[in-house]
Amino acid sequence: MKYSAILLIATRQIGDVLLITPLLRSLRRAYPDAVIDVLVYENNGGMLEGNPDYNTLISVAEHPNFGEYKILFKQIFHRYDLAISTLSGDRPLIYALFAAHKRVAVVPPKRWQDAWKRLFVQAWTELDNQNTHTVIQNLRLADLLGIERCYEFVIPQPLDNFDKLDQVLPFAWQKEPFAVLHLLPMWHYKRWTLRGWEQLVHYLIKVGLRVVLTGGDSQEEIAYLRKALSKLPNTVINLAGQLRFCDVAQLIRASTIYIGPDTAVTHLAAATGVPTVALYGPTNPLKWAPWPFGYAENKTPFKQRVRQNESQKVGNVFIVQGKCACVPCHQEGCERHKQSYSRCLEELESASVIEAVKVFLK
């Protein structure tokens, strides 16, 4: 069946927006003449900058008020002949109901309170939050439409010719080897230790790599990196708050290696094809590991955890997990909230991360 107007709903965090790009490319290849719009949360569209596979980006607040709902529904009401929800929550499906007569969605496992979601869609796939990677979960929506899967990620591209990196980097970044590190994830329970980062930076400099830090512009992140820099050599370059996601993608693509925690930039790094070392604690790699560049199988690339003498390396991605027996616990840290500590990451030794780095530097 052909569609002339499609709405793809991806109202989640910024890293999740990147994870829809294989599905978005699948839709564009199957329906080259269709208008394909994407609905995301406000300020999360940066991951789609320069992406040729959609027409219009529509944004909505994470917690809209009545006026914001009114504006959104006016934008999408019966504008489409197909709405696709990559999420199993209530609001994404309500958006789909307003947008189109035909709806395809991810739905939660069977519970009486969610039964209505299966009634209001023409096709659905059940959410597997444990053993199915999010990329594969999204691509099952393509299967429901009977179109060919595309596993290709599309990283953000600048819409102008202005090269920010020439301005902010005090060395010949296109020629000299350097490592990119992203220290601070969105949530505290995903953090590694400052001591670990310090030891890693000293190793990278010792083997001849410049070190560049990325980060956001929040006061918390700026203060955290200021504290980290006080313990690091003054040759370390801090670009926090200075780059768009398209600039970060360009920076990482030009680097020798990237190291970071479970965060959107780590997913972006993997998508560039650059060697990526990802530090994981409570998070389940089966569901949320960075997707290796060029990987195109209907099988989750990583395991929940491996034996002591095995490694979690697939393609350009090496996952280093905390050593605690509870890893991955699938919880928000040891205290079960986003600002919790995670013992598995606090006890993760820099030697384990350096060994993973050495695998790529060889």
Q: Of 29, 261, 243, 320, which Cα lies nearest the Cα of 154?
A: 29
Tokens of 213: 């830090």
Q: Of 21, 60, 26, which Cα lies nearest the Cα of 267?
A: 21
Q: Of 314, 308, 322, 315, which Cα lies nearest the Cα of 353?
A: 322
Distance (Å, whole) CA 161 – CA 64:
35
Residues 6+ apart with CB under 8 A from 119: none
User: Tens place of pLDDT for every residue, the chain, 362 residues?
Assistant: 889 999 999 999 899 999 999 999 999 999 999 999 999 999 899 999 999 999 999 999 999 999 999 999 999 999 999 999 999 999 999 999 999 999 999 999 988 888 899 999 999 999 999 999 999 999 999 999 999 999 999 999 987 766 889 999 999 999 999 999 999 998 999 999 999 999 999 999 999 999 999 999 999 999 999 999 999 999 999 999 999 999 999 999 999 999 999 999 999 999 999 999 999 999 999 999 999 999 999 999 999 887 766 679 999 999 999 888 888 988 988 888 888 988 999 999 999 999 999 999 98
Fold of the 164-361 domain: Rossmann fold (3.40.50)
* 164-361 has the same fold as 5-145: yes
Residues 6+ apart with CB under 8 A from 251: 165, 173, 180, 212, 214, 239, 243
CA torsion through residues 52, 53, 57, 63, sign? negative
Residues 6+ apart with CB under 8 A from 51: 21, 24, 154, 156, 157
Q: Of 253, 362, 262, which Cα lies nearest the Cα of 320?
A: 262
Crossing angle, helix 350-361 and helix 194-206, to 10 degrees?
A: 30
Fold of the 5-145 domain: Rossmann fold (3.40.50)
What predicted TM-score, i.e. pTM, was given to this entire model? 0.95
DSSP output for 117-134:
HHHT-SEEEE--TTTS-H
Distance (Å, whole) CA 221 – CA 105:
36
Name the residue ranges covered by the structural domains of the chain: 5-145, 164-361
